[in-house]
Structures are given as structure tokens and as C-alpha cells.
């Protein structure tokens, strides 16, 4: 279980989070939404222990990640797969080396065993052509890079938590749909806890079963799709105003 | 404001230096990266160093020879060449050339890794960038900078010899005998101690600037410039004080 307890966080003097409270269980798929700069990526960074809150605690499986020695932090991170906002692929390594990064670094598997796993993983994320494995990340399209990043996150030790930071932003609808179905597939096959950050309401509705809206560093909404539609909270209404149509569009589709 | 900013960074850079030293003696050690850096920083700088060495040596030799001939002391050319090259010119010139070439590269590389979240991704995968990125570069510099300095020394003295014998009518054997006279333990010690210290300067400054670069691509550009300027200035400053201090300490052996 993941827990944010009254988390405050600021970069230097800039206050980003001001009292976040969240509890997320395994098996849930949570979508975090909110305007640009509201602190969504920061929440994921705190979860990985890349930053520590100035006040409050970030707790993963009953452990406060910021009060742990490096070694235990590493153990916790092994259970978390992170897909960064722009992929963050290692640009000096080939696609195959990126996907197999964790196995290269932390296991004693032979090169053959690793490349077998890498090929399987690339197949899983839908990139099974032979040239891709040896090409450099920069030679791939944005959508392909994102899928490589998902594959890389998955091929660490079977993660129990997957974090996706805007996995579909800036992609064409086709690649976006591919990635969303990948996220759903993962969730169904492995029953892991997924947290997805996104601007795209339509995408959010496809994937999530719980929605969190963050505005200016505070959780202004936390609940199901129905509750989201009914919400009269001013901040939520403001945030959702431009998306009214897609909100109802998806609802209609569901009933057809 | 400006002063506070500077004090803050000098202090952090100081801490970074000690973290780097601690990391040097800690596991894991990444042999593949270290080999790669030895090649990239060392072998790839070789041509630049040779080129600089030849021309600097010839230039020095020409100037000294003309000056010395006024006193009829051209036979001392070798002495002056060897002492100025081994103790000053070789270390400083190599340090500056490598600082320009290498610290720009290191800062830009680390900075752009930071800008694209690759450093965070690395940490998320349980890898410490200090061990994986900084230590291999530090080791490569500590080994390669003194080695390149020796190459620079040798090449520059040969360059000086070429000018001396071909243009200035100094006899070859006299030149070499007089060169050897000043190749004392003390001079060579200083000549190698300097690049050893410079390598830590270059590694500290360039890695620190990379890790602290901010503001995307533009920030990386700025950090790169700062990195080259700062490491060059620090090399020159440390060069002076090193010579002064060490000279006092080992005077007896000169
Ligand atoms: N390294 C940093 N240094 C200083 N300020 C930062 C840093 N990273 C983020 N910020 C600031 O913190 C705030 C929250 O950033 P964050 O990346 O969490 O926003 P976000 O909700 O993910 O936005 P987006 O949807 O645009 O990705 C922003 O206003 C940003 O300017
Ligand atoms: Mg973000």
C-alpha cells in the first residue's frame, strides 16, 4: 500500500505540494489529473524517493522511504517501475540495452538469457521487429520510445507498482491507444498497482478506476468516475470544463 | 547576492569533491565504463596534446634561443627548455587543453542526462550516478592527465630540439646534455604532481556543473561554458600555489 500523509514539498522557495493525503492499495488503477505545474510529476518523484518532503511522510508498505538507508531504498525501488514523462531512455545505449538495463546491472544472467528476455519484452510492448533491438532510442518515434520505456520499467524485477508520467501526451492517437491498451493489459495480467499521470481526460477515463484531481498542490477530488461527474467542487468544475464533452462521450459509449 | 551565490557553490563544490573521493573507494566499480573513459579522455586527447606540444616547444625554443644568444649563452637552451617545460608549460598547457576539451564534454553529457531525466531513471534502477558516471571519469583523468603531460613534455622538448639544431645552430649533444641536467627528481616530481592535482579539479568542476545544471538545453550550454572557464582558472591558480608550496617543501632535492 502507498500512503501520502500530509505531504508538503517545495523546490527551493517554490511551494509545490501543500498537504497531500492519499492512500492507494494494490490492485487499484489511479489516475492523477490536474493542470500543468500542479505537482503531478513531483508526486511520482516523491514516491521513488528521488525527493523527500519537507513535511509529512511518503509511506510504501509501512516504510517511510525517506528515512531508509540507501540499500533499503534500492529494495523498494526494485518494486516500482517508472515511465518518465519523456521516456528518459539512456541515449548512449541501444534499445535492447535499455530494456535489459536492470538485468545487465543487477543480475548474473548471461548475455543470451538477457537478450531472450529482452526480445520477449519487446514483443510484449509490440515492438518485435528485428532492427529495433539494435537501434538507438533517437532513431525511434515518440510512441515507440514510450513503449521501450514501459518495457524497460517492466523488465526490472516484476514491479508491484507502475508509475506512468503522461504516457500518451504528445503522441498521435494511434500510438496513444496502443500504450493505453498496454497499460490495461498489464493491469489485468499482473494485478499490479498502477498510477498514471495525465492531462488527457479521455485517456484517463479509459484506464482508471479511481480519479484524483490535484490543483495547486492540493487534492481537490478523489473518487470514482460517477463521483467525478457529479462533483460540484469549484476547482474540479473549472478543471473539467473544457472536457465536458469527452466526459459524457465516454460515458455514453460505455452504455451502448 | 552575487557573492552569496558564489559562496554557496564553492561550498557545495567542496562537499562534492569529498563525496567523489569517498565514492572512489566504494563499490560497485564499473570497469567497462572506466575503460571507455580512459579511451575517450586519454587516447582521444592525444592528438591535440601532441599538436600543442610541438608548436609550444618550438615557439619557446625560438624565443629563448634568441634571448640567450645576446648573452652568448645558447648552450644553456636545453636547461631552460627542460625546466620550463617539465615544471610549468607541460602541466599547465596539458591541463588547459584537456580542461577545454574534456570538462566541456563531461558537463554537457551529465547536464543533458539530467535534463532528460536519465539521471533519475538511473537512480530509479538502483544505480548510483556517482559510481557509474563520476568515478570512471575521475579515474580516467587521474591516470591520463599525468600520462598526457609526459607526452606533452617529451614532444615539446623535441620540438625545442628541432628549432635549436635546425634554426639556431645549437649542437644536438649540447642541447640534450643540458636538458638532462635539469631533469632532476624535484622537477619531475612537481611536473607530475601538478597534473595529478589538475585531474581532480577537472573532474570535480565538470561533474558538479553537470549535476547542478538547470533549465534544460540552455542551462546545459551555460553550465558547459562555466565548467571550462572555472576549471581553467582553477588550474592556473592552483598551479601557482602548488609550485610555491612544493618548492618550499622539497627545496633540498632540487
Ligand atoms: N527541479 C525543479 N526546480 C525548481 N522547480 C521545479 C523543478 N521541477 C519542477 N518544478 C516546479 O514545480 C512545479 C510542479 O512541477 P511538476 O513537474 O510536478 O508539475 P506537473 O504537474 O507534473 O506539470 P506538467 O503537467 O506540466 O508535467 C512547477 O511549477 C515547476 O515549475
Ligand atoms: Mg509532469
- Return the domain boundaries, chain A: 1-77+210-256
Crossing angle of helices B216-249 and B90-98, rounded to 10°: 170
Of A78, A84, A105, Cβ closest to residue B121? A84
Mean pLDDT is highest, among A169-173, A216-220, B108-112, for B108-112
Name the closest residue on chain B to residue A106, using Cα atoms. B126
Q: Would an 8 Å CB–CB cutoff place B126 in contact with chain A?
A: yes
For the beta sheet containing A210-215, the strands, ordered from the edge strand earlier in sequence to the opposite edge, are A80-83, A161-165, A193-197, A29-33, A210-215, A218-223
**Cβ–Cβ of B124/A80 closer than 8 Å?**
yes
Integer Rg of chain B from CA:
21
Q: Which of A80, A90, A156 sits opposite B118 (nearest CB)?
A: A90
**How many Cα atoms within 13 Å fall on the side-chain side of residue B22?**
7
Centroid of ligand 2 to alpha carbon of A37 (angstroms): 7
Rg (chain A; Cα; Å)? 19
Evaluate whether A64 touches A244 at the Cβ level (below 8 Å).
no
Closest CA relative to residue A165, chosen from A65, A11, A33, A69: A33
Burial of B155 (0-12, 13-18, 19+ CB in 10 A): buried
Cell numbers 616530481 correspond to B189
B217 touches chain A (CB under 8 A): no
pLDDT at B254: 55
pTM of the complete model: 0.87
pLDDT for residue B220: 92
**Residue A164 belongs to what H/E stretch?**
strand A161-165
Class of domain A1-77+210-256: alpha beta
Chain A: residue nearest B118 by CA?
A: A88
Q: What is the pLDDT of residue B192?
A: 92
Q: What is the mean pLDDT of chain A?
A: 83
Give chain A positions within 8 Å (CB) of B123.
48, 50, 77
- Which residue ranges have their beta carbon within 6 Å of ligand 1? A 11, 14, 16, 34, 36-42
Q: Which of A42, A72, A78, A90 to mutate to test the interface with B (most CBs of B within 10 A)?
A: A90
- The whole-number pLDDT of residue A35 equals 85
Tell me if chain A has a CB within 8 Å of the CB of B116. yes
Predicted pLDDT at A254: 43
Task: Give the per-residue pLDDT at A253.
Answer: 44
CB atoms within 10 A of CB B76: 17
Higher-confidence position of B229 and A118: B229
> How would you write the pLDDT of chain B (254 residues) with one tens digit per residue?
778 888 888 888 888 888 888 888 888 888 888 999 999 888 889 999 999 999 999 999 998 888 888 887 878 888 888 989 998 899 999 999 999 999 999 999 999 999 988 999 999 888 889 999 999 999 999 999 999 999 999 999 999 999 888 887 888 888 898 888 888 888 888 899 999 999 999 999 999 999 999 888 888 999 999 999 999 999 999 998 887 887 777 666 55
Tell me the C-alpha distance between B249 and A224, whole Å: 76
Closest by alpha carbon to B216, among B112, B109, B118?
B112
Q: Higher confidence at residue A251 or residue B77?
A: B77
Query: Percent of chain A beyond pLDDT 70?
Result: 95
ipTM computed for the complex: 0.84
Distance B29 CA to ligand 2 centre (A): 34
Q: What is the DSSP string of chain B?
A: -HHHHHHHHHHHHHHHHHHHHHHHTSS---HHHHHHHIIIIIIHHHHHHHHHHHHHHHHHHHHHHHHHHTTT-GGGHHHHHHHHIIIIIHHHHHHHHHIIIIIHHHHHHHHHHHHTTHHHHHHHTT--HIIIIIHHHHHHHHHHHHHHHHHHHHHHHHHHHHHHHHTS---HHHHHHHHHHT--HHHHHHHHHHHHHHHHHHHHHHHHHHHT--SHHHHHHHHHHHHHHHHHHHHHHHHHHHHHHHHHHTGGG-
Q: Tell me if chain A has a CB within 8 Å of the CB of B117.
A: yes
Looking at A195-204, A225-234, B116-125, which range is the least confident one? A225-234
Report the distance separating Cα B52 and Cα B148, nearest Å: 11
Q: Would you state the pLDDT for residue B29?
A: 87
Contacts of B39 (CB under 8 A, 6+ apart): none
Size of interface A-B (CB pairs under 8 A): 43
Q: Residue A157: which pLDDT band, with cuts at 50, 70 and 90?
A: low
Compare A46 and A235 and report the one with higher pLDDT.
A46
Predicted local distance difference test score (pLDDT) of residue B221: 92
Mean pLDDT of A238-253: 64
Which ligand ends up closest to the CA of A20?
1
DSSP class of A26: T
Select from A7, A9, A14 the residue to mutate for testing ligand 1; criterion: most ligand atoms less than 8 Å from CB: A14
Residues pairing with A161 in the sheet? A80, A193
Nearest CA to ligand 1 atom 24: A36
Whether residues B120 and A106 touch (CB distance < 8 A) is answered with no
Query: So what's the pLDDT on residue A255?
Result: 41
Contact present, B175 and B78 (Cβ < 8 Å): yes
Could you write out the DSSP letters of every residue in B109-126?
A: HHHHHHHTTHHHHHHHTT
What pLDDT is stored for residue A193 in this prediction?
84
Cβ of B120 under 8 Å from any chain A Cβ?
Answer: yes
* Ligand 1 pocket, mutate which of A38, A43, A45, A46 (most atoms under 8 A from CB): A38
Amino acid at each position: 500500500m502507498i500512503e501520502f500523509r500530509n505531504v508538503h514539498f517545495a523546490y527551493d522557495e517554490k511551494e509545490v505540494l501543500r498537504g497531500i493525503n492519499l492512500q492507494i492499495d494494490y490492485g487499484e488503477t489511479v489516475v492523477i489529473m490536474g493542470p500543468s505545474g500542479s505537482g503531478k510529476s513531483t508526486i511520482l518523484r516523491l514516491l521513488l524517493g528521488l525527493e523527500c518532503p519537507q513535511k509529512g511522510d511518503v509511506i510504501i508498505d509501512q516504510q517511510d522511504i525517506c528515512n531508509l538507508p540507501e540499500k533499503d531504498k534500492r529494495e523498494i525501488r526494485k518494486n516500482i517501475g517508472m515511465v518518465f514523462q519523456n521516456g528518459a531512455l539512456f541515449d548512449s545505449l541501444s534499445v535492447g540495452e535499455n530494456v535489459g538495463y536492470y538485468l545487465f546491472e543487477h543480475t548474473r544472467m548471461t548475455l543470451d538469457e538477457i537478450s531472450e528476455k529482452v526480445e520477449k519484452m519487446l514483443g510484449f510492448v509490440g515492438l518485435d521487429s528485428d532492427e529495433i533491438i539494435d537501434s538507438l532510442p533517437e532513431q525511434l518515434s515518440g510512441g515507440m520510445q514510450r513503449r521501450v520505456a514501459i518495457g524497460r520499467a517492466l523488465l526490472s524485477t516484476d514491479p508491484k507498482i507502475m508509475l506512468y508520467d503522461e504516457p500518451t501526451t504528445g503522441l498521435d492517437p494511434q500510438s496513444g491507444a496502443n500504450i493505453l491498451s498496454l497499460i490495461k493489459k498489464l493491469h489485468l495480467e499482473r494485478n499490479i498497482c498502477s498510477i498514471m499521470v495525465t492531462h488527457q481526460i479521455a485517456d484517463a477515463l479509459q484506464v482508471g478506476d479511481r480519479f484524483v484531481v490535484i490543483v495547486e498542490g492540493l487534492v481537490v477530488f478523489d473518487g470514482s468516475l460517477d463521483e467525478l461527474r457529479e462533483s460540484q467542487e469549484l476547482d474540479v468544475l473549472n478543471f473539467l470544463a473544457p472536457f465536458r464533452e469527452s466526459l459524457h462521450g465516454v460515458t455514453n459509449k460505455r452504455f451502448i | 547576492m552575487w557573492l552569496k551565490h558564489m559562496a554557496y557553490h564553492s561550498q557545495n563544490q567542496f562537499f562534492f569533491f569529498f563525496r567523489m573521493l569517498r565514492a572512489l573507494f566504494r563499490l560497485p566499480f564499473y570497469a567497462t565504463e572506466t575503460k571507455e573513459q580512459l579511451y575517450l579522455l586519454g587516447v582521444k586527447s592525444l592528438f591535440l596534446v601532441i599538436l600543442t606540444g610541438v608548436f609550444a616547444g618550438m615557439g619557446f625554443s625560438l624565443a629563448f634561443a634568441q634571448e640567450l644568444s645576446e648573452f652568448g649563452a645558447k648552450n644553456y637552451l636545453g636547461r631552460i627548455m627542460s625546466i620550463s617545460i617539465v615544471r610549468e608549460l607541460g602541466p599547465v598547457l596539458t591541463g588547459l587543453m584537456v580542461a577545454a576539451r574534456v570538462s566541456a564534454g563531461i558537463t554537457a553529457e551529465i547536464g543533458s542526462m539530467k535534463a532528460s531525466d536519465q539521471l533519475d531513471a538511473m537512480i530509479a534502477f538502483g544505480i548510483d550516478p556517482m559510481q557509474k558516471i563520476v568515478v570512471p571519469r575521475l579515474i580516467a583523468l587521474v591516470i591520463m592527465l599525468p600520462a598526457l603531460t609526459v607526452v606533452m613534455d617529451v614532444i615539446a622538448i623535441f620540438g625545442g630540439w628541432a628549432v635549436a639544431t635546425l634554426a639556431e645552430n645549437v649542437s644536438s649533444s649540447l642541447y640534450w646534455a643540458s636538458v638532462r641536467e635539469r631533469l632532476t627528481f624535484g622537477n619531475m616530481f612537481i611536473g607530475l604532481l601538478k597534473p595529478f592535482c589538475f585531474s581532480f579539479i577537472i573532474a570535480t568542476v565538470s561533474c558538479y556543473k553537470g549535476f547542478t545544471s538547470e533549465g534544460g538545453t540552455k542551462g546545459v550550454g551555460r553550465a558547459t561554458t562555466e565548467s571550462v572557464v572555472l576549471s581553467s582558472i582553477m588550474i592556473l591558480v592552483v598551479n601557482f600555489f602548488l609550485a610555491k608550496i612544493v618548492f618550499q617543501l622539497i627545496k633540498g632535492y632540487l
